[in-house]
Amino acid sequence: MGKILVTGAVGFIGFHLSSHLCNQGYEVVGIDNMNDYYEVTLKQGRLDLLLEIDGFRFIKMDLTETNSINDLFNKEQFDYVIHLAAQAGVRYSIENPNAYIESNIVGFMNILEACRHNPVKHLLYASSSSVYGGNKKIPFSTEDSVDHPVSLYAATKKSNELMAHAYSHLYHIPTTGLRFFTVYGPWGRPDMAYFLFTKAIVNKEPIKVFNQGKMERDFTYVDDIVEGISKLLEKPPVENSQWTDQEGKMSESSAPYKIYNIGNNQPVKLDHFIRVIEDTLGIEAEKQYMDMQPGDVPKTYADVNDLEEAIGFKPQTSIEEGIKSFIDWYKEFYKK
């Protein structure tokens, strides 16, 4: 089936994706620096499960280690690269901006350079719905301008898309950027709202509800994200000499380059989201209503028409189904 490099393999999405690809018959080499941005025990738990899967190998490595990345590509000669590793989190980018430049800009540059010197069939990389920033038009379309980010995290993800285009144009590397919309599910990130809410409610602690509960998010279950990536893997973009910026899609190019949204296409109000968690746990939350946080946006909503047209698939797991799966996992993992 081919050999795939998954960066950030011990991260939330990387863990689920690596497992899925191995089960499909691919050979997967996973790298991760196992940093302590959130609890390492969670990352170790994911890794322990991955190491039990046939076809998976793990190498502890940081994306900023240029020589190590180059040696890895030279040795392994990957067929595909799925680049998920990044410094995540909108709010943390306000506190620690340098971490985002190192990981998200320098790290991605090293991946692009390695793909340049060791050509691959397809490089897929994680972008984010955060790139839509201050956009008011909804749903968010990959044809919309994304020139007004409201966080450094978003700016680094937009930079990744621009860097990928330059390398697709100059070196004919097929690249696909994936704008993920609020991914959630079992083994998720502890800094995400649904995880924080569940932990607080279980421990009888108050939860902070920002923007007075008027937020809306296009919550996307992790299995839907994995399915979308898997289906896109064997569909690399191709060069199109007829493309122009007057007549062609802005998510495409004359180069082998493409951008997709992967979102549930059904925004959920924050108050309803919390109610689903409460109902699933059977516990009512104590709520502290707060103002909007810097760098945040009131609503996300994905237009996924391009995705559905390309692979005949769009995310559709309901919030009730997804939250139940997460809470079942949470209770088991934390013995609650």
Q: How far is CA 158 from CA 45, 137, 155, 258, 336, in A?
A: 31, 18, 5, 13, 40
Residues 147 and 198: beta-carbon distance below 8 Å: no
Report the C-alpha gap between 105 and 95 in whole angstroms: 17
CA 319, 320, 324, 325 dihedral sign is: negative
User: Tokens representing 62?
Assistant: 């940081």
Report the C-alpha gap between 26 and 54 in whole angstroms: 10
Query: DSSP for 233-246?
Result: HT------TT--TT
Report the C-alpha gap between 125 and 253 in whole angstroms: 17
The backbone torsions φ and ψ at residue 255, rounded to the nearest 5 degrees and listed phi first, read -80, 165
Beta bridge partners of 123: 81, 175
Active site residue 153: yes
Secondary structure class of 157 (helix, strand, coil): helix
Considering 80, 153, 167, 330, which one is annotated as catalytic?
153
Catalytic residue positions?
A: 153
